Amino acid sequence: MNIFRLCGDLSHLLAILLLLVKIWKTRSCAGISGKSQILFAIVYTTRYLDLFTSFVSIYNSVMKIVFLSASYGTLYLMFYKFKPTYDHNHDSFRILYLIVPALVLSFVIVHAYTLMEVLWTYSIYLEAVAIMPQLFMVSRTGEAETITSHYLFALGSYRALYILNWIYRYYTEDFLDLIVIIAGIVQTILYCDFFYLYITKVLKGKRLSLP
C-alpha cells in the first residue's frame, strides 16, 4: 500500500458513494447511464469472486464488499425503485460491443488459463471501457449535472492515481503487471476529454455543457 493507491481507492469509493447518495437524495437517476452501471456490476462481480478463494487484507476484503454492495444497490435504485426517472432513450450505447470484445481479449491475453484468472482479466478489460455508455450519454444530452460531473471526475481520477501507484511499485517492488497497467492507461485516456471540460467549466462554477 502506498499513498497513490490509497488516494485512488478513496477516490473510487467516493465516486461510488456519491452516485448512490445523489440518486437516493434526488429520488432520480436522470442523466446516469444504467448500461455503465450494469457493466460496473459485472466488473466487480467477476473480479471480486476471489473474496472466496484468496485473502489479502481486511482492508481489501471490506472494500470489495462495499464496492459490490454499492454497485448492486445502484442497480436496484435505477432499475427498480426509481425506474420511472431512468432516461433510457439517451442511454443507447450497445454494450455487447464492449462485453464481447473484452471477453475475447481476456482469452487471448491473460496471465494464466484458469477460470479465476480469465474472469479477473475480463474484469480489467471491461472496466477500462465500462464508462463509455455514460460518456456517450453525456455527449448525446450535451450536458451533465454538476454532481454527475463530480462522480465522473472521482471515478476517472481513481485509475489515474493507480497509474502513479504502478510507477511507484515498479521502482520500489519490481511490480509489473502489463495487463492491468495498459488497461488502466486506456481507461484513463477515455476520461481525458471529460477531465478537460471538468477543469475548464465545472471547477469554475459552470454547468458541464457541450458546445
Q: Which residues bind other proteins (CB under 8 A)?
A: 5, 9, 12, 50, 54, 56-57, 60, 63-64, 67, 111-114, 116-117, 120, 162, 165, 177, 180
Please check whether residue 46 is in contact with residue 125, taking contact to mean a CB–CB distance below 8 angstroms. Answer: no
Please check whether residue 35 is in contact with residue 75, taking contact to mean a CB–CB distance below 8 angstroms. Answer: no
Q: How far is the CB of 9 from other proteins (least distance, A)?
A: 6
SS3 87: coil
User: H helices of the chain, where?
Assistant: 3-26, 34-47, 58-76, 96-108, 115-129, 132-141, 146-173, 178-200
Nearer to other proteins, 45 or 60 (CB): 60
Nearer to other proteins, 143 or 177 (CB): 177
Q: How far is the CB of 114 from other proteins (least distance, A)?
A: 6
Nearer to other proteins, 96 or 112 (CB): 112
Q: How far is the CB of 142 from other proteins (least distance, A)?
A: 33
Nearer to other proteins, 87 or 117 (CB): 117
- Residue 69 cell numbers, joined: 454492495
Q: How far is the CB of 64 from other proteins (least distance, A)?
A: 7
Burial bucket for residue 107 (CB in 10 Å: 0-12, 13-18, 19+): exposed
